[in-house]
Every structure is written in C-alpha cells, then in structure tokens.
Amino acid sequence: MSRAAKFKAALAVDELTERQARAEHKRLSDEIALHDKLYYEKDAPEISDADYDRLRQRLKAIEDRFPQFVDMFSPTQRVGTTPTTAFAKVRHARPMLSLDNAFTDEELQGFFDRVRRGLERETDLKPDEEIAFNCEPKIDGLSISLRYEDGEFIVGATRGDGTTGEDVTANLRTVEDIPHRLKGKAPRVVDVRGEVYMERQAFEEMNRRQEAAGEKTFANPRNAAAGSLRQLDASITATRPLRFFAYAWGEAEPRSWKTHSEYLKVLRSWGFRVNPLSHLCRTPEEVRAFYRKMSAERPSLPYDIDGVVYKVDRIDWQDQLGFVSRAPRWAIAHKFPAEQARTRLNGILIQVGRTGALTPVADLEPVNVGGVMVARATLHNADEIERLDVRAGDMVIVQRAGDVIPQVLGYVPEQRPKGAHKYHFPTHCPCPLKTRVQSEEGGVVRRCSGGLECPFQQVERLRHFVSRNCFDIDGLGGTHIENFFNDGLLKVPGDIFRLHEKEREIKKREGWGEISVRNLLAAIEARRTISLDRFINAIGIPLIGEATAKILAQEYGDGDAWLDEMLAAARERKKAPDAVKKEKAAVEVGPSYGRLCNVEQIGVTTADAMCAFFNEGHNVEIIRDLRRQLTVEGVARRAIAADAPLRDKTVVFTGELSTMTRDEAKARAEELGAKVTDSVSKKTSLVVVGENAGSKARKATELGIQTMTEDEWVKLSS
C-alpha cells in the first residue's frame, strides 16, 4: 500500500481513541524524526515532500485533538534536526523557523482568511483594505544565517534545529555571492538569511568532473549544495559552484525598513543578490497569478524551485500576527504539484534493513524527473506491489515532489508487454542463509527470521553504528563497511576497534594507501570515548532512536548503571511474560522493569522491545565487548539542594505564557528542584496554567492536582 493510500485507509483523527492516538503520535514522531535526519543531515531524503507534509499534517491534527501529547521532542515543536558533531555549534540570535505549506487553493484561501481575521482583531484594518504580499520563488537549497557586526561578516551557520546550527563560516567565505563586508550604511548587528543553492547546469558539469575523477556524484543540486557546504576542508567548498540568494533577517539593530519589499532593496544596497523574480502582489488574485506564472516558468529557470513563498509585506503587521509553533502566521509556502515521468521497470529488487525488514525497490530505466536522473524508487512493501500490480517490463509512471527519491504511481496498461508475469513477494530472505520471511501480525512489514545471523542485517547494523548520529566515524562509509564485512575484516561492532590489528591487510586493498589507512585508524581511535546517549543509539535497540537514547542516558546516568538496569528489567520481564497487560501492572513485574516503563516516552511496548533485546545473549555480548574497548561518558546529574522549594516535585506547564517562554519557565522550575514533564498524571505535583489552556488543565482538576496561574507561578519562582 502506498503512503497516500495508507493515509486514506487510516482512521480519521476524530475516530481515534486516546490510546490509539498516543501510539499513532509516537509512530509519526519517530518517522518524521527519521526523515528530518535524512533530509537535513545526510542530504539523502527517502520520501516525497508531499508525503512528508502529510505526516506532519496528521501529527498536528492529533496534537490539536490531544494537546497533552505535545512535548519538547515533538516534531511540531522544532525545525530541522540536531546539529552534527562535525562542526562547532552556533546558537541563532533569533530562531530560524520553517513555513507552513499550502497545496491547494482552498488551503491558500484559508491562509488569506486567517491573516485578514488576525489583522482585523489586532489592528484597525478595514474589511475592504488591501493586504499586500511579497511573493518570491521558493529556492530548493540550504537555509543559511550570516551574522554581520559593524558591517563585517563574523559567522555563518546552517539552520540546524532552528535554534542551534552548524558553524560553516569558513566555507561560506568561499561563496562569491556572500559579501565579506557590507556596502554603505548597515545596522550595528544584523543576521542576513537566505539560501545557498547550485544552478542546474553548474551541477551537471560538476557531477561530470566528479565522475571523471572517480569521486562521489550527487543526486540533485540541493544535495550537492548541502554536501559542498558541509566539507571539513573549505578549499573543497571553494571549488564548488555555490550561489546565494538573500531574503530574510534574524536579529537587526537598529532596523530601518518598514516593509519586506523595502528590506529587499536594502539587501541589494549592501551587496547581496536578491531574487529578481520577487514581486509585490496587492490582492489574492494577483498572488494566484504570480503562482501560475512561476509554475509555467519553472522548467526554464536556471535553478530548482519547489513552490512560491508569500509574506505579508508590512513588518508591523508581521509583528502583530506573530508566530505559532514552528512557523510565522504571516507567511506560507505554496507548493507545486509533484512532477511525473514515464520509464521502463527493469525489475524489482529486495533490500534487507537492519531490523530484517524486506523492502522492495523498483529498478528503473534511468529517467529525468524534474531535473534529476532517477534509477531507483521504493515500492514500500508487498501490499503496495499487490495494489499497483507492477511487473518487470512495464512502462511505469514515477513521481517526484521536490528533492526526493520518487515513488511509482502505477503502470501504463496499453504498454504492458505480453507475458509479463505477476510479481510474487519472496518467502525466503535473499541473504545466503535463505531464512524464511515472516509477516508481522496486523502489519504490512515482512522480515527475515534470521535475526543477527542474517549477514544483510549485520551489515546494516554496522552501517547504523558508524552513522552520523551514532559513532560518526569519518572515512568508514557504507561501502567500506560492506566490503570489510564480506571479506571477514568486520563481523560485530567491536571489530571496528580491532581494525588496527589488520592494518597491513587493509593497506593491500585497492584504494587504500598509507595515508588513508592512517586517517581511518585515527578516526576510529578518536571515537573510543563516546557519550552514553550516542552509545545507546548506536547499539540499534528496536524502537530506540536518538531522542529516546538521550532520555535513557539522563535517567540512568552512566553506562554501567544503564546496562545493569536493562539486564535486571529483562530478567524480571522474562519471569512474568503474561503479567503485563496494562501500564499499571508494570511495577508488579519488578522494580527495574517498572522504572523502565515509567521513563518518559518509554511505556510498556517499548520496554518490552528492549527487554526482548537484552534477553538475547549475543546482543549483550556485543555491548560488553564494546564496553571493554571504549570509555562511555555518563551524564552528569543535576545537584539539587536539600531545601530546594520544589525538590522531588513534578511540574507541568500548559497554555500560553505571556511573561516568559516555555523554556525559561522550565529552566526556572528545574533550578528550584522540580522535574518538568509534558503530560499530566497522578504523579504530577503542580500544573501551571497559562492562557488558552486545554485538556491538561481539565485533567489536573479531575485528578485533584494543584494548579496555579502564571502570575502565581512568577511569585512562587521569583
């Protein structure tokens, strides 16, 4: 079943029970987090923009109905993803927010209506008064913030998670479109924001040079721009044909412009390139006409765009409208529909992931879709193939929405070759063991039953282990992992830290010389000390990702305590396999299991998956093998004074706070000794209720939990 079909088949949000909604919320959050990492960090997205936006829209709908699910880890509360460790971190003076999207004319009209209602409520706007919008093409590149002080370029950073980005100043200094010093009169401090991108022709020429030199080629201009800007050696970035358009600002002291259109003129006077297609529209009809014009001109533009951005032109009106969650109320991105092409399906391949999931992949005759040559497309699962009924030799329709690996929409019946055979999903894993494939009960995923004995799973787990958010070992990429594994140099993660024993053997391999081997071994040695959260994430425990690994590290403090508690919880769970039916029964199984179930964002389902993992002896041996070779740094626990007024109290903030941000309120509560959570339960000690509070406030009242207003909280915490 395709992603679009899954959305249609899924229960409407209004029909979900709270239990179903909680499970769906976690699934969506995990999936969005994965795709954020693939897009923002690895520059290798796996789903279409449209599918990604549908995931976010469903998550937002669930949170609107069940606001108690909203917490600091929700994708709706953040932008992008956590900055990597390869670059220093830069905290943005003002957050770099994302934009809400409109895909249909109805959604666009909804935006216009919300803007008008908001301005009529907050200002003296007349019902028939014009609201001008500045419209500009949405460049498909990498968002960047450039900080200037007294006219000098000081630091440049990526968007990162919206609050903190990666310091890529040295690389940005090589981009000709970025002035090192502003011309004319400029504010004492200003953050200029815009998009680094690569033009299509320059991208194709660069790819030809890369291929001729036997170096990595890129899938599309956006990936090429992002990869070029993240080079650790700025001299490499200097050889890449990067361009920059400026279009926004962060901090600006003092600010002289009163409209966005005026700001664009100021940017030009400072020496920046501003998109010449930017246009001021004074009515919704003019906005729609500009969208149609950009859609028609899109193929002839020298760079990729995936939509048009509309911004309320007057800055004072922008300030009045403000922000909601991760996006401004005064701007929106109007996305183009997906691009399509036809090509031949050569066959269907099967890929095996690190959890044993078998994923069918369409092997396509290479075709240009929206400026990108495509030869592969995921077919998701067996149900999707059954629904599409695609067969080897078919002429198929592929779709690409923005910077993505495409999806197969279906086949062209009149062009189906005679004798084309219906595809039958394999009953055995394609790995050398040929183990049987098992279907998950109630699910569409089919998995190899070989577990860690399956070499395909072993390779994928090793790839995960060295990936950016885990051990992040420079020079040990996926291809090297597979080759080393196939040749017997690696079998388990601990073997990575024993590669120095095989230095001579590696040097004899094609493509490996004295310097490259020395660099690899140095990179491995540099990772012999690792933080506990990265260590937990790298192990590859089912249902445990980056965010949950951080929570576990904070809860258990150090590696020894964490491992001891996990083993104890696994033993307790094994002795009582049928005892856990509901979360309230968890503590009856045993203290370690009960503690695990009560860790934030864990619960019984995840705890059971972890216990199953730690009840497998080979998994435990892998961890112990690594512990013998590594230093796993624990998490320093916050010291709380014995007389702290909120010591051992659990506090929840709900509603909108007017005198402080949610982060400031949380920090102050923690200073007073409290633990701050995002959901109300019987364990909650206090709920601070702001404006427009919802179900959390009602639940607190129902449970008899103490509540107080924001003013009362300010008095208590001051």
The count of C-alpha atoms lying within 13 angstroms of the C-alpha of 557, restricted to the half-sphere facing its C-beta, is: 8
Give the whole-angstrom CA distance, residue 670 versus residue 110: 40
H-type alpha helices, 180-333: 200-212, 221-229, 234-238, 260-270, 284-297, 315-321
> Which of these, 700, 653, 696, lies nearest to 674 by C-alpha position?
653
Separation of alpha carbons 614 and 623, rounded Å: 10
* Burial class of residue 335 (count of CB atoms within 10 Å of its CB; 0-12, 13-18, 19+): buried
What lies within 8 Å, CB to CB, of 351 at 6+ separation is 358, 359, 360, 361
pLDDT-derived band of residue 620, with 50, 70 and 90 as boundaries? Answer: very high
For residue range 239-249, what is the model confidence (pLDDT) as tens digits? 899 999 999 99
Whether the predicted pLDDT of 509 surpasses 70: yes
Closest to 89 measured CA to CA, from 171, 150, 42, 155 = 155
Percent of the chain at pLDDT > 90 equals 37
Mean pLDDT (the chain, rounded): 85
Average pLDDT over residues 214-222: 78
**Which positions ≥6 away from 35 have C-beta within 8 Å?**
45, 46, 47, 52, 55
- pLDDT of 71: 64
Q: Please give the average per-residue pLDDT across 600-608, as a whole number.
A: 80
pLDDT band at 8 (very low <50, low <70, confident <90, very high): very low
CATH of 531-633, one of 1.10.8.60, 2.40.30.130, 1.10.150.20, 3.40.640.10: 1.10.150.20
Q: Tell me what percent of the residues of the chain surpass a pLDDT of 70.
A: 88
Architecture of domain 450-527: Orthogonal Bundle (1.10)
Q: What is the pLDDT of residue 325?
A: 60
Candidates 1.10.4080.10, 3.40.50.300, 1.10.287.610, 1.10.150.120; correct CATH number of 3-77?
Answer: 1.10.287.610
Determine whether 355 is exposed, middle or buried from the number of CB atoms within 10 Å of its CB (0-12, 13-18, 19+). middle
Q: Which CATH class is domain 650-717?
A: alpha beta
Whole-angstrom Cα distance, residue 487 to residue 485? 5
Which residue intervals of 487-558 are DSSP H helices? 503-507, 514-525, 532-539, 546-556
Where are the CATH 3.40.50.10190 domain residues in the chain? 650-717
pLDDT for res 44: 61
pLDDT at 404: 58
pLDDT confidence bin for 443, thresholds 50/70/90: low
**pLDDT at site 582:** 47
Q: Which carries the bigger pLDDT value, residue 682 or residue 20?
A: 20
* pLDDT surpassing 80 at residue 472: yes
Alpha helices in 1-48 (DSSP H): 3-9, 18-36
Confidence of residue 440 (pLDDT cuts 50, 70, 90): low
Distance CA 394, CA 385 (A): 13
pLDDT confidence band for 361 (50 / 70 / 90): very high
pLDDT at residue 418 greater than cutoff 50: yes
Phi, psi of 188 (to 5 degrees): -60, -40
581 has pLDDT over 50: no
With a cut of 80, say whether residue 346 has pLDDT above it. Answer: yes
- State how far the Cα of 325 lies from the Cα of 263, in Å rounded to an integer: 25
pLDDT for residue 583? 46
CATH fold of 339-449, please? OB fold (Dihydrolipoamide Acetyltransferase, E2P) (2.40.50)
Lowest mean pLDDT among 260-264, 490-494, 684-688: 684-688
The Cα–Cα gap between 423 and 1 comes to: 15
Question: Per the structure block, which two tokens stand in for 235?
Answer: 């001299």
Pick the range with the lowest mean pLDDT from 40-49, 181-190, 316-325, 660-669. 40-49
- Residue indicated by tokens 């639940």: 699
Helix, strand, coil in percent for the chain, rounding step 5:
40, 20, 35
Please say if the pLDDT value at position 334 is more than 90.
yes
pLDDT at 73 over 70: no
DSSP H/E element including 611: helix 603-614
- Return the H-helix or E-strand segment holding 566: helix 559-575
* Helix axes of 617-629 and 603-614: crossing angle, nearest 10 degrees: 80
Mean pLDDT of 226-237: 85
Q: Stretch 681-702: mean pLDDT, rounded? A: 81
Instruction: Give the pLDDT of residue 587.
Output: 59
Average pLDDT rounded to a whole number, residues 360-373:
82
Q: State the catalytic residues.
A: 138
DSSP, res 623: H
What is the arithmetic mean of pLDDT over 665-685?
A: 77
Q: Is the CB of residue 676 less than 8 Å from the CB of residue 709? A: no
The pLDDT, as a whole number, for residue 638 is 59
- pTM for the complete prediction? 0.49
Burial of 261 (0-12, 13-18, 19+ CB in 10 A): middle
What per-residue confidence (pLDDT) applies to 265?
96
| Matching CATH number, 101-335, of 3.30.470.30, 3.40.1010.10, 3.40.630.30, 3.30.70.2190 | 3.30.470.30
Residue 678 has a pLDDT of 67
CATH 1.10.150.20 domain residues, the chain: 450-527, 531-633
Q: Model confidence over 547-577: pLDDT tens digits?
A: 788 889 988 989 999 999 999 999 999 888 6
Hey, what are 399's tokens?
């779709």
Tell me: the pLDDT tens digits for 294-306?
Answer: 988 887 899 989 8
**Token pair recorded at residue 16:** 């979900």
* pLDDT of residue 394 exceeding 60: yes
Distance CA 339, CA 49 (A): 11
**Stretch 153-167: mean pLDDT:** 89
Report the SS3 class of residue 583: helix
Cα 495–chain centre separation: 30
Q: Which two tokens stand for residue 358?
A: 């078998």
